[in-house]
Amino acid sequence: MSKAISQVPFAQNETVKSYEPGSDEVKNLISTYRKMWKEKTEIPMIIGGKEIKTETKIQLTSPHDHHHDFGFYYQGDMSHVDMAIEAALAAKNKWNALAWEQRASIFLKAADLLAGPYRDVINAATMIGQSKNVHQAEIDSACEFIDFLRYNVEFMTELYAEQPVSDPGIWNRVEYRPLEGFCFAVTPFNFTAISGNLPTSMALMGNVVVWKPSDKQIYAAKVTMDVLKEAGLPDGVINMIFTDGKETAERVLAHPDFAGLHFTGSTKVFQGMWKMIGDNIHNYKSYPRIVGETGGKDFVMVHHSANIEAVATALVRGAFEYQGQKCSAASRAYIPKSIWNQVKDVMASQIKTIKIGSPEDPSNYVNAVIDKNSFEKCKAYIDRAEASNDANVIIGGKYEDKKGWFVYPTVIETINPYYESMVEEIFGPILTVFVYEDENWENTLKLVDTSTPYSLTGSIFAQDRYAIDEAYKALENAAGNFYINDKPTGAVVGQQPFGGSRASGTNDKAGSKMNLMRWVSARSIKETFVPAKDYKYPYLG
Ligand code: NAD
């Protein structure tokens, strides 16, 4: 057991590499990408530390070249779900008994492995499997993931240090126990960092985990497991399975030892899982923790005092980076009539210079959307806008799927603030703009607040401080991450804890102490040094 009150290394954000043209950084990353592109990788599930292979091999293809396969993974069934639960429960006691410093060490080591020898590998896997360009891969799979690991260790120690006061003669303590049973992590395709954070944050707090990554993110998920193994994570603490989402949820959520769900993905899927948990509530040994970060319809609200170039740039970056496939992507903008033409011109001139294609060419700012479904969904929104009386496609509107799932940055202008692409999450590079009369500023703030069920991220652009203050108050509950004169994407761990409420999630703020709180169950301990020896209190005389 620990014989010191250890201090963990001071967490700092990993510096984002710039990958300038011709630099060694970019040459090394692209050469790793090319090497991995040619390899045919074979990805087994990892259960109880063992590689599990099945008869069912599923080909892995890249979004920007769907004829190219870079290997396959082994698909599991419900027997593998059971196996993963058993392996987790078998690992539980030993993992629970391990001193926190030992746990911390594993995840700090994982962070250093990602920052060093695995950086190019996890970035390249994310570029190939999820079609992220060099910069998007770097800020996600390297830096944000590393930040999650390092900051969570620091937040864990802050949490452990939160202790009650003690009256004379007694000593009060609070111990932060892992949850009884096993935890379930279900992760989305769009962020390697989130995919890594969901299972590791629970494991860091002493829990054992069954992890089901998205089948569109399996390549980088494999690298995550390789890193954790090399960092010394004991077998069975995190078990990675490739199984059908719905069936797996039904199986896992019916288990009496299910103790917590850490989910990131779409709103509908999360609501379905919550319902399953409700239906099973009488089966569980304890009330499970439910954390879900879900969909968004993130806004940019512009005041007529705003800086034109800043608004246009925030819209271009916020809406089109990673093809608009960030939960935080700007997807609806409200722009006053007096400045709309200028904003539109600057946006159009910026978008004209955007290159689209494979991440292998780092000068491509936009790459492919994740799969055929996403491509078809974007295409349908664009086609309907072209045909609508309420909307016009004013920039972009092109798409092509011969080689990869490419959708060009598209701006739709609508006269209807409730037009479908103003209120529904599309998850593609499509921005819809509603132009309002300048004098309708207040009513437009109400529209921003009430026209969608979501509340994830949002920005306000203004130079006028009274306008900023008004928006700040009127939109208090419209976004869990609120930006002033900045794009609504790009939250940094340790700086802007991330998460939304309403239909966007339980707002348990990934990358913060608030999140870690959900994966522990506190025990209060009171010790009396000299116990009373007579029942009579003084008032009894
Ligand atoms: P998704 O909901 O399709 O899938 C997420 C995970 O759930 C995957 O592992 C998937 O296999 C699994 N799944 C799918 N159907 C299931 C079912 N019926 N029951 C149980 N599990 C099931 O989401 P996605 O397409 O991978 O990711 C995009 C979505 O995630 C968007 O809605 C986006 O806004 C959201 N997202 C939110 C945040 C956030 O922090 N709020 C972050 C990233 C992504």
Over the stretch 42-80, which tens digit does the pLDDT of each residue have? Answer: 999 999 999 999 999 999 999 999 999 999 999 999 999
pLDDT of amino acid 255: 98
Question: From the alpha carbon of 244, which atom of ligand 1 is closest?
Answer: 11
pLDDT digits (tens, 9 = 90+) for 356-371: 999 999 999 999 999 9
Helix intervals (H) in 163-320? 192-204, 218-231, 245-252, 267-279, 308-320
Mutate which of 242, 327, 509 for ligand 1 pocket (most atoms within 8 A of beta carbon):
327
SS3 content of the chain, % helix, strand, coil (to 5): 40, 20, 35
Contacts with 465 (C-beta within 8 Å, 6 or more apart), sequence order: none
Question: From the alpha carbon of 265, which atom of ligand 1 is closest?
Answer: 30
pLDDT digits (tens, 9 = 90+) for 6-18: 999 999 999 999 9
Q: What percent of the chain has pLDDT over 90?
A: 99
Q: Answer yes or no: 327 catalytic.
A: yes
- Give CA angle at 262 (260, 268), nearest 5°: 110
Contacts with 436 (C-beta within 8 Å, 6 or more apart), sequence order: 334, 335, 336, 337, 443, 444
Distance 198 CA to ligand 1 centre (A): 13
Q: Which residue puts its alpha carbon closest to atom 43 of ligand 1?
A: 327
Distance 136 CA to ligand 1 centre (A): 19
Distance 294 CA to ligand 1 centre (A): 7
Distance 531 CA to ligand 1 centre (A): 54
Mutate which of 190, 243, 248, 492 for ligand 1 pocket (most atoms within 8 A of beta carbon):
190
Question: From the alpha carbon of 293, which atom of ligand 1 is closest?
Answer: 41
Q: What percent of the chain has pLDDT over 70?
A: 100
Question: From the alpha carbon of 510, which atom of ligand 1 is closest?
Answer: 40
Every domain of the chain and the residues it spans: 24-294+505-525, 298-484
Contacts with 438 (C-beta within 8 Å, 6 or more apart), sequence order: 304, 336, 337, 338
User: Does residue 1 carry a pLDDT above 90?
Assistant: no
Q: Which residue puts its alpha carbon closest to atom 8 of ligand 1?
A: 214
Q: Which residue puts its alpha carbon closest to atom 22 of ligand 1?
A: 245
Strand order in the sheet with 50-52: 50-52, 45-47, 238-240, 209-212, 182-186, 258-264, 289-293
Rounded to a whole number, what is the distance in angstroms from the first to the last CA of the chain? Answer: 48
Determine contact, residues 484/460, Cβ cutoff 8 Å.
Answer: yes
CA 397 – CA 391 distance, rounded (Å): 12
| CATH of span 298-484 | 3.40.309.10
pLDDT digits (tens, 9 = 90+) for 340-396: 999 999 999 999 999 999 999 999 999 999 999 999 999 999 999 999 999 999 999
pLDDT of amino acid 2: 75
Distance 285 CA to ligand 1 centre (A): 27
CA 277 – CA 252 distance, rounded (Å): 10
Distance 248 CA to ligand 1 centre (A): 14
Mean pLDDT of the 416-421 span: 98
DSSP, res 232: T
Residue of 327, 360, 378, 425 marked catalytic: 327
Mutate which of 247, 269, 276 for ligand 1 pocket (most atoms within 8 A of beta carbon):
269
pLDDT digits (tens, 9 = 90+) for 98-151: 999 999 999 999 999 999 999 999 999 999 999 999 999 999 999 999 999 999
Q: Does domain 24-294+505-525 have CATH number 2.130.10.10?
A: no
- What φ, ψ does residue 256 adopt, rounded to 5°? -60, -25
Ligand 1 surroundings by CB, under 6 angstroms: 186-191, 194, 212-214, 245-246, 249, 264-266, 269, 272-273, 293-296, 327, 425, 427, 456, 498, 500, 504-505
Mean pLDDT across the chain, nearest whole number? 98
Q: Answer yes or no: 183 catalytic.
A: no
CB atoms within 10 A of CB 196: 32
- Can you say how many angstroms the Cα of residue 474 is from the centroid of all Cα atoms in its chain? 27
Distance 268 CA to ligand 1 centre (A): 9
Question: From the alpha carbon of 249, which atom of ligand 1 is closest?
Answer: 20
